[in-house]
Amino acid sequence: MKSPTVSLHVNKKALFDYEIVQGYEAWIKLTGPEVKSVRAKQCNLKGSYVSLASGRPILKGFHISPYEHLPHKLGINPTADREIFLKKKDIDHLIGKMKEKGFSLIPTEVYSKGNLIKISVALARGRKVFEKKQVLKERDVSRDMDREIGRF
């Protein structure tokens, strides 16, 4: 029996700004209060990215609000760098791809899988302004078609 997957946060801005080339599933290293905040959906991926400069994937800019039921806040930094865990083969592949021009490694979703908090990261290429406009246009056309079909 598969463990249920519950989406906790989706980075919609990144999905619009980038064209996803390939996705990866990774574990994220969190402390106890951070896990509770993420499960309560008190997190934000907007503006975050993954750095491979040290040879290890480090998630930067991932905001996790301090857990509200703690008696003291312990001086927690909400946007601290967090380590994520990928397979060694995937890390080597990503390091090679990141050297190519135009590729970025961005987080797209945080979700829980059973008792674990996982993060979906994607190798992505930035979209140009005209490509973003084309995506919006296609979305509007498909929405209009769905409305017309629903009338009959």
Residue 116 has pLDDT above 80, yes or no: yes
Question: Rounded distance, CA 105 to CA 41, Å?
Answer: 23
What does the DSSP 8-state code read for residue 55? Answer: S
List C-alpha distances in Å: 8 to 73, 86, 119: 23, 20, 10
Strand partners, 22: 123
Q: What is the CATH number of domain 5-127?
A: 2.40.280.10
Q: Would you state the pLDDT for residue 73?
A: 60
* Residue 22: per-residue pLDDT: 87
Average pLDDT over residues 38-45: 86
Helix boundaries (H) for the chain: 12-17, 32-39, 88-98, 129-151
pLDDT computed for residue 119 by the predictor: 92
Query: Over 80: is that where the pLDDT of 52 sits?
Result: yes
pLDDT in tens, 55-99: 888 999 888 888 887 777 666 778 888 899 989 888 888 888 888
Q: Higher pLDDT residue, 74 or 52? A: 52
Alpha helices in 10-128, H assignment, sequence order? 12-17, 32-39, 88-98
Q: Where are the domains of the chain?
A: 5-127
Query: How many CB atoms lie under 10 A from the CB of residue 141?
Result: 10
Share of the chain above pLDDT 90, in %: 3
Token duo for residue 62? 């991932």
